[in-house]
Structure 1
C-alpha cells in the first residue's frame, strides 16, 4: 500500500516508486503544491465530491425518500470530512467546515422539518461536493498528457453541474421563479380570452366558449355546454374545475371540443341530462390560496345572475374538480357549509347551500401539505405536486396548511360526495380519509377506488379513455341520480 509522509518540504510517497527533492520520478504520485498525493486519494476525493452533488440533487427530487437520502448525505459528508482532514493540504478548514455544516444541517432538517435547514443542507452539500472535485482536479499532475484532453469535457460537465445545482438550490428556496419561467413559455395569467366568445355546436350540444365571468382576476373565463342544443329544458348544472397543480391547465382539457386523446368529461354528463360548465381560474404563484376559492365564487355568482340568459338551472348544482381543481371545489364547498371556517378564511358564501346538491372529487389534492407524497411513489409526480403546492400556498406554514385541509374542515352540512382516484402516483389515501370523515359526520358519499390487482390507474385516470373511465362515469352518474 502507498504511504504518504507529510512532514515538510521533503514530502515523499512510498510505494512502487519514490520522489524527493533530488527529483526521482513517482508515477503513482500526484503533485499538490509542494507535496504529493496518491492517485487513490485523488480518486476518492473526486468520487466523494460527485456523490455529494448527486445526493443533493436526489434529496431535492425524491420528495418521499428525503429521510433515506438524507442519511446517505450525512454519511457522504462524514467521509468527505475524513478525506479532507487526511489529505492535510491547503484550505482544509474550508472542507471540514462545509462537511460539518452539511452533517449538522441535514440532521436538524430531518428532526425538525424546518424548510430553511433543508435549503442550507442542499447548499452546503453541493458546495462540499464541488470543493472536493476542485481539490481533486487541482491535485492532478501538470505533467499528465491527458490534462488538455480532459480539460474541455470536464469544464463542460462542471458548468452543467453548476447550472443544475443553482436551479436546485434556488427552486428549493422558492419555486416561484421556475413556474413563472414556465408561464412565460406557455399558459399564463391573462385578462384576454383564448378565443373570441362564440356559440357553436359540438357533438350535438350548444357550446358558448370563453364567457367572461369576472374582471378583477385573470383567467376569469368559462365555457357553457347546453345538452341537445335546447336551453328550454330544465336540467341540473354540472360545474367542473380543471387540474394542473394550480399553475397550469385549461377549461378545455379533455373537452369534446378538443382534438385530444383525453376522455370527454362533458360527454357522459350531457348524455345523462346535465348542462355542463367548465371554469378557468388564476394561476399560482402570482395568485395564491384562497384566491381561487374566491374566484370560483365569482363564477358561481355570474352563473346565478345569468342563468336565464344561458338556459341554466342554478337551483340544482353539482361541483366537480380534478386534482388541483378538486381542492378548489372542496374548499369552496367548505366555505358554503361551514360558517366558522368561512369567517376564519375571510370569505363570504356566494350560493344557496340548498342549491349545492353534490360534489365530485377526481384525484383531488385534499390535503395540500401532503401533495408531494402521492401513494405508490412516483418521483416525477411527487416532485411536480410538491413544487405546485409550494406555489399555491406556503407549505412551511403549518397553520395555513391545516386551514387549507379540506378533510379536516368538513361538517355535517357538507354536500353528498362522489370520491374517486387511481392507485399509482396519486392520492387514494386522501380520498379514503375524506370518505371516512364524511361517514363520521353523517354525510352521504361513495368512495370509488381500485386495487392494483384490477388495474394500474394513474393520477386523473378518468381523463384518459379506458374501460375504467367508462365505469367511473357510470358509477358517478348512478350516485348523482339518487341525489340531484
Structure 2
C-alpha cells in the first residue's frame, strides 16, 4: 500500500476514534447532568437524544462485528429518553440513564480499540486512561444506583451522623437559657424514634398563661434537630425562639423520625403524638394548649401543613387512614417558613440552585419512596386545603427555594376564604436563600416582626 494511502487511513482511523471518544464522553457526562440538574432535565434529555443519534450514525458506519451492540444501545437510549420526557415515568428514566451511560462507555471502548489499531499502546497513556475509566465507571454506577433508589445513600449518611434513635441526646433536664426555662429531651412517645421535644417557658415563669408556639425543624425529612434555632444571646436576631418568647409565647420544638426508614405520613402521625402528649401534660409544664400556633421550616413546613390538613379535612384524613388528634378550635394558626408544600416539585426550586434542587429531590424521594402521581397528589398540601384550614403566615426567600409554592398556597387560601399573609421579597430588595429566616439579618428581623404582627390579630 502506498505511504500516502496508508497515512490517510491512519488519519481517518484516528479521526473516527476521536469522534467516538468525544461522543462517548459527552453521553456519559450528559447522563450525570440529567441526574443532578433536576430543573434542566428536559433540556439535558434532548441533548442526550441528540448525542445518541450521533452515536448511532457513527457506529452504523462501522462494519465491525460489535456494530449491533452500539446501534441497539443508541436506539434504547433514544426511545426510553423520549418516553421518559413525555410520560415522566420514573422507571423509564432509570433505563434511559443506564442506556446512555452504557452507550457512552461502549463508544469510549470503541475509540480506544480504534486508537490501538492505529498506534502502539503505551503504558504512559494506558494507565491514566484506565484510572479515568475506573473513576467514571464508579461514578456512573453511583448515578444509576441513586437514580433507581437514593435510600442507600441517605442510610449511609445516617450511619455517619444524625440517625433514628430511641435514645435521647441527653437525659431530660431543666435549665435557664437566656432567661427562658428550658426543659430538654422530653420523650413524647415510645413507638417511633426521635420522639423527643424541648419546651421553652418565657421568663422562666410557667404561671403566666401564654399561647404555645410549636415548631418542627427542616432538613429534608432526613436530617435536622429540634435545637436548630434555639434561643441565642441576641433574642432579636436569627433565632426563631427568641422573638417568639419575647412576644409572649411559650415555645416547643419537636423532633421526628427520619426517612427513608420512616416515610410519609409517619411524620404527620408522630406530630399528632407530640400534640397529644403536650395536651395531656400541659399543666405540668405550664403550657396553654387551647391557643396553639404550629410552625414548620422547609420539610417541617410540609409536616405541619399536612397535619393541619388532617385536622381540618375529614375526607383527606380518612384517605390517609388517620384521625384528628387535637381540638380544631385550639389550632389558631400555621406558620410556613420556606415550606416544601408540593413534594413532587421539591427538586425544582425557583431561581435555580443545582445543589438545592439535587438535595431536595433526593430528600423528597426518600420521604415518599414513590413517583406515583396519586401519592404525590395526596402529599400536596396546597391541593388539599379547605375553608376550615387555620389562618396562615407564609414566607419564603427568592433563591433556590419555593416562593412559587408559597404564592400558590396563599392564592388557594384566598379562594376558600382563609385569612393569610404572604411574605415574599423580590430580588431587587435582597437575595434571600431557602430558610433565610434562620440567618441573622435585617430581613429576618422584619420577617419576625411581620409574623408576630399577623399572629397578634388571631391568637
Return the TM-score normalized by structure 2.
Answer: 0.97
Q: 1:214 Cα shift?
A: 0.3
The reply to whether residue 29 of structure 1 matches residue 10 of structure 2 is: yes
* Aligned CA-pair RMSD: 1.6
**Which residues in structure 2 correspond to 1:334-483 (within 5 Å)?**
334-483=309-458
**Alignment deviations for residues 195-219 of structure 1 (CA, whole Å, 9 cap, x no partner):** 1211111111011111100000000
Q: For the Cα contact (< 8 Å) 1:389–1:395, is it kept in 2?
A: no
Pair 1:118–1:143, CA change in 2 (3 A): closer
- Conserved? CA contact 2:14–2:114, under 8 Å: no
Assess if the C-alpha contact under 8 Å between 1:394 and 1:400 holds in 2. Answer: no
- Matches of 2:22 and 2:172 in 1, distance apart? 60
Q: Which residue of 2 aligns with 1:5?
A: none
How far off its partner does 1:254 sit? 2.1
- The reply to whether residue 17 of structure 1 matches residue 4 of structure 2 is yes
Cα-to-partner distance string for 1:73-107 (whole Å, 9 max, x where unaligned): 01100111111111222311100100010011111
Alignment partners' CA distance in 2, 1:145 and 1:257: 68
Choose from 7, 30, 42 the match for 1:67: 42
CA distance in 2, matches of 1:298, 1:43: 63
> Residue 47 of structure 1 corresponds to which residue in structure 2?
22
Partner of 1:33: none
Q: How far apart are the structure 1 equivalents of 2:432 and 2:159?
A: 32
Aligned to 2:52: 77
Q: Is the 8 A contact 1:255 1:263 kept in 2?
A: no
Q: Check 1:28–1:202 CA distance in 2 against 1; reply closer, same or farther (3 A cut).
A: farther
Matches of 2:168 and 2:131 in 1, distance apart? 44
Compare the two structures and name the one with the higher helix fraction: 2
Q: Secondary structure at the match of 2:5?
A: coil
Q: CA deviation at 1:394?
A: 3.6
Structure 2: give runs of 5+ residues left out of the alignment. none
In structure 2, the residue matched to 1:221 is 196
Which of the residues 133, 146, 151 maps onto 1:176? 151
Check 1:299–1:385 CA distance in 2 against 1; reply closer, same or farther (3 A cut).
Answer: same
Q: Distance in 2 between matches of 1:422 and 1:248?
A: 21
Give the Å deviation of 1:263. Answer: 2.1
Deviates more, 1:439-448 or 1:247-256: 247-256
- Residue of structure 1 in register with 2:178 after alignment: 203
Deviation of 1:141 after TM superposition, in Å, equals 3.2
- Report the secondary structure of 1:29's partner residue: helix
SS for the counterpart of 1:225 is strand
Could you list the structure 1 runs, at least 4 aligned residues long, displaced by more than 6 angstroms after superposition. none
Partner of residue 4, structure 1: none
> In the alignment, is the contact (CA less than 8 A) between 1:99 and 1:128 conserved in 2?
yes
- The runs of 5 or more residues in structure 1 that have no matched partner are 1-11, 20-25, 31-36
Displacement of 1:142: 6.5
- Partner in structure 2 of residue 114 of structure 1: 89
Is 1:188 aligned with 2:163? yes
Q: Contact conserved, 1:394 with 1:401, CA < 8 A, in 2?
A: no
Higher relative contact order (CA 8 A, sep 6+): 2
1:104-143: per-residue Cα shift (whole Å, max 9, x none)?
A: 1111111111111100100000000000101111222378
Shift of 1:309: 0.8
Residue deviations 1:313-343 (CA, integer Å, cap 9, x gap): 1000000000000000000001111111111
Could you tell me which residue of structure 2 aligns to residue 6 of structure 1? Answer: none
CA contact (8 A) 1:200 1:206 kept: yes
Which of 102, 108, 111 is the equivalent residue of 1:127?
Answer: 102
TM-score, normalised to structure 1, is: 0.92
Instruction: Provide the rounded CA distance (Å) in 2 between the counterparts of 1:342 and 1:403.
Output: 10
Distance 2:304 2:203 in 1: 27
Provide the C-alpha distance between the structure 1 equivalents of 2:54 and 2:46, rounded to a whole number of angstroms. Answer: 13
Q: How does 1:199-348 map to 2 (within 5 A)?
A: 199-256=174-231, 263-348=238-323
Kindly state the Cα deviation for residue 147 of structure 1 after the two structures are TM-superposed: 1.9
Cα offset for 1:429?
Answer: 0.6
| Alpha-carbon distance between aligned partners in 1 of 2:228 and 2:4, rounded to the nearest angstrom | 70
Question: Mean alpha-carbon deviation: is it higher for 159-168 or for 388-397?
Answer: 388-397
Q: How many residues align?
A: 457
Matched-pair contact (CA < 8 Å) for 1:376–1:425: yes
Q: Distance in 2 between matches of 1:379 and 1:185?
A: 24
Question: Which has the greater radius of gyration?
Answer: 1
